[in-house]
Amino acid sequence: MPSEKIRVSVITSCFNGEAYLSSFIDQLTSQTIFPALEWILIHNEPTPREMDIIKEFQARFPEKIKHIVTRPVEPLSASWNRGWKAACADHASFWNLDDCRPDDALQRQVETLEQNPDCMMTYGDFIEVSQYGSTIGLHRSVPSNYANRFRRTFPGGAFMVWRRNGAEKIGYFDEQLHIACDYDLVTRAAVEGLKMKKTEGVIGYFTNQGTGLSTLKGANKEAVERTVVQLRYGMFDKAASEHISDAEKYRIAEIFVGGHWLPLTAYIEQYTRYIKQRMILKKFNGMRKSLLNIFGGAR
């Protein structure tokens, strides 16, 4: 029988992932869409045990994996870009080792894009859990009406599925950013006006143990990169004043991909005009911070 057409490329970056790798593979093979997926593993300085685990998977499913070893360790954004460029399916999913998905999550998300050919990305509700493997936690509901919200609010959750050709329209992940690269890409797509659609039902379990790149408590780099994104897309009222000087050391109006600097005007047609129209928000920065302090940091 002919093999099933590959419908989704699952892209994973691994560094020091030995504690999660076997469990991740169990989840991957349990996905209802597994016969129609490929796994692209960007493996940063793999340990001997990690290599053994991957060799076992390759022996079982030799046609399912593209195993790319990188030395030295590279930023997550660079690994994701490397995987995106290696993908051959029409859809690309970026799945972190320490996050979990219901068995039918990828199937539902791919079907959302297949049924909505004008949409570039699909997202959905997720549950934030304090322990890896748990399904009980804080239910994070994200809006169906993305058009304006995603220009100012990140849906979060790390469970988005993109069309593979999305990079042709909005560019790849900015390799200046090591933590907020997905926040940047979603905001870029929203500002350009690309369509996105919510997949109904829970699509993932986001592990927040305070040890990940984006969840490490007290991680100043995450706050600085968040400020970069806010300045980049005219969210001047949200940019924390204490991080602006560090954020301005980045190239705000350019992204860095594969050793090349690319202007945002190449991907957002009205970028300069869009930013100019939002300059007035700078006047409300201090006012917003005062209101947040009064109302306990509500967003």
For 85-125, write each residue's pLDDT tens digit: 999 999 999 999 999 999 999 999 999 999 999 999 999 99
Distances (CA, A) of 276 to 23, 38, 108, 234, 236: 48, 43, 39, 8, 11
Cβ-contact 132, 56 below 8 angstroms: no
Average pLDDT for the chain: 90
Tell me how far apart the alpha carbons of residues 153 and 83 are, in angstroms, rounded to a whole number.
Answer: 26
Tell me how far apart the alpha carbons of residues 89 and 47 are, in angstroms, rounded to a whole number.
Answer: 29
The answer as to CATH 3.40.120.10 being correct for domain 8-207 is: no
pLDDT of residue 291: 44
Tell me how far apart the alpha carbons of residues 203 and 158 are, in angstroms, rounded to a whole number.
Answer: 10
| Number of CB atoms found within 10 A of residue 56's CB | 12
Tell me how far apart the alpha carbons of residues 116 and 110 are, in angstroms, rounded to a whole number.
Answer: 10
pLDDT of residue 288: 53
What DSSP element (H or E) covers 198?
strand 195-207
Is the predicted pLDDT of residue 217 greater than 60, yes or no?
no
Higher local confidence (pLDDT), 237 or 289: 237
Residues 165-169, mean pLDDT to the nearest whole number: 93
Whole-model pTM: value is 0.90
Per-domain residue ranges for the chain? 8-207, 220-294
Cβ-contact 203, 126 below 8 angstroms: yes
Q: Which residues pair with 91 in a beta bridge?
A: 8, 163
